[in-house]
């Protein structure tokens, strides 16, 4: 018997989980566009942002007596700044040297190593357990025609879309953003036109970690937070980035939502034991038939 309501409930849950993957994958896409490098510590950037946000929020609440929804709003700009700084540090320590020496794999090792260091750091500061992130919205589910959804899940979807729209707008409208787009299009030509491409790459890393930090405080009330938050999400998001295409902002959103929904549907209609299989199959199919991703532009490598 096909129960339509259950189907919609699964799709809704899939979208909200998929949007979490998408917003993390969006960060991969940002740095890849400008420098053809990725921050393999993207998951850790998300985790750090989330934990930093947690600390800022609890400090605001306990020392200044600011109530929760307001504390959440006040925390946001601070966390975004924290994310930018963290991204700039990653680029400065891990990526710049590799790009300068045209090292093919140096940045892979360096960003992974930095990720591990950030994780250990977080374990020392915040401990190793998973804990609850105070939600800015009530945790009672809202009901729309029999479908139940948490207010936080709605916020995740809207917040993620708003963030990605804001970054796209920044890239298209602001002079700095135009430098980013120019560098993505052709780093050599952009350099000749007077764009400081090294600075643009730093900026893209800062933006990438900014989205990660924002994603961290956005998803944490639902996923719980802790030093191990990054590893699980980072890996899943990487698959999403490959499926959607590393060069396309829209692609990662679609890829994330696609993966989130297929996971849920397979879990319910086939077996929860196979919940992760369709995602991997999708990944393999994309890699075999369209390696640049569903929405990616195929790269032509000139040697």
Partner 1 sequence: MRLLRRTLMALAATAMLTAPAFAADAIKIGLSGPFTGGSASMGVSMRDGVRLAVEEINKAGGVLGRPLQLVERDDEAKNDVGVQVAQELINKEQVVATMGFINTGVALASQRFYQEAEIPVINNVATGTAITQQFKPDNYIFRMSAADTIQSNMIADEAVKKRGFKRPAILADSTNYGQLGQADLEKALGAMGIKPVTEEKFNIGDTDMTSQLLRAKAANADVILTYAIGPELAQIANGMAKLGWKLPLIGSWTLSMSTFIDNAGVNGEGAVMPQTFIQSPTTPKRKAFIDAYQAAYKVDRIPSPISAAQGYDGTLLLAAAIKQAGSTDGAKIKAALENLNTKVEGVVTVYDHPFTATDHESITANIPVFGMVKNGRVVAENPADLEGANAVRLKAK
Instruction: Specify the residue, 11 or 81, whose C-beta has the smaller distance to partner 1.
Output: 11
Quick one: 265 exposed, middle or buried, by C-beta within 10 A (0-12, 13-18, 19+)? middle
Q: Is 292 in the site for partner 1 (CB under 8 A)?
A: no
The C-alpha atoms of residue 200 and residue 210 are separated, in whole angstroms, by 15
Number of residues that bind partner 1 (CB under 8 A): 43
Q: Is 141 in the site for partner 1 (CB under 8 A)?
A: yes
Report how far apart, in Å, the C-alpha atoms of 236 and of each of 21, 128, 136 are: 7, 21, 26
Q: Is 104 in the site for partner 1 (CB under 8 A)?
A: no
Q: Which stretch binds partner 1 (CB under 8 A): 24-32, 95-103, 216-224, 283-291?
A: 216-224
Contacting partner 1 (CB under 8 A), which of 100, 148, 173, 297?
148
Helix or strand holding residue 153 (H, E): helix 151-173
Please report, as residue ranges, which positions from 106 to 135 form the binding site for partner 1 (by CB under 8 A): 108-109, 112-113, 116, 120, 123, 128-132
Q: Is 159 in the site for partner 1 (CB under 8 A)?
A: no
Spell out a b/e string for 205-232, using b for 16 or more CB atoms within 10 Å of the CB, else e.
Answer: bbbbbbbbbbbbbbbbbbbebbbbbbee
Q: Which stretch binds partner 1 (CB under 8 A): 3-11, 156-164, 179-187, 288-296?
A: 3-11
The C-alpha atoms of residue 251 and residue 165 are separated, in whole angstroms, by 13
CB of 81 to partner 1, least distance (A): 27
Task: Write the DSSP symbol of residue 144.
Answer: E
Q: Annotate 77-119 with DSSP letters as a single string.
A: HHHHHHHHHHHHHHIIIIIHHHHHTT-SSHHHHHHHHHHHHHH
Q: Which stretch binds partner 1 (CB under 8 A): 64-72, 163-171, 188-196, 257-265?
A: 257-265
Residue numbers at the binding site for partner 1 (CB under 8 A): 3, 6, 9-10, 13, 16-17, 108-109, 112-113, 116, 120, 123, 128-132, 139, 141, 143, 148-150, 222-224, 226-228, 231-232, 263-265, 267-268, 271-273, 275-276
């Amino acid at each position: 018997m096909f129960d339509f309501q259950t189907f919609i409930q699964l799709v809704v849950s899939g979208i909200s989980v998929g949007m979490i993957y998408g917003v993390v994958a969006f960060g991969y896409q940002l740095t890849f566009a400008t420098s053809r490098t990725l921050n393999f510590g993207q998951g850790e950037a998300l985790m750090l942002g989330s934990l930093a946000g947690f600390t800022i929020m609890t400090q605001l609440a306990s020392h200044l007596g600011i109530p929760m929804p307001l504390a959440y709003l006040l925390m946001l700009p601070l966390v975004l700044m924290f994310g930018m700084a963290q991204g700039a540090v990653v680029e400065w320590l891990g990526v710049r040297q590799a790009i300068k020496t045209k090292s093919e794999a140096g940045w892979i090792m360096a960003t992974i190593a930095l990720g591990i260091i950030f994780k250990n750091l977080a374990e020392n500061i915040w401990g190793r357990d998973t804990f609850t992130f105070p939600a800015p919205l009530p945790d009672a589910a809202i009901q729309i025609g029999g479908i139940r959804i948490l207010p936080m899940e709605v916020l995740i979807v809207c917040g993620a879309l708003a963030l990605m729209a804001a970054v796209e707008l920044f890239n298209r409208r602001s002079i700095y953003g135009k430098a980013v787009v120019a560098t993505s299009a052709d780093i050599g030509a952009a350099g000749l036109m007077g764009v400081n491409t090294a600075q643009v790459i730093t900026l893209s890393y800062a933006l990438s970690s900014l989205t990660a930090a924002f994603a961290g405080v956005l998803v944490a009330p639902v996923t719980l937070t802790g030093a191990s938050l990054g590893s699980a999400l980072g890996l899943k998001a990487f698959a999403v980035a490959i499926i959607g295409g590393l060069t396309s902002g829209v692609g990662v959103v679609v890829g994330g939502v696609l993966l989130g929904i297929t996971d849920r549907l397979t879990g319910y209609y086939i077996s929860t034991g196979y919940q992760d299989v369709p995602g991997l199959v999708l990944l393999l199919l994309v890699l075999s038939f369209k390696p640049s991703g569903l929405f990616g532009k195929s790269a032509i490598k000139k040697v």
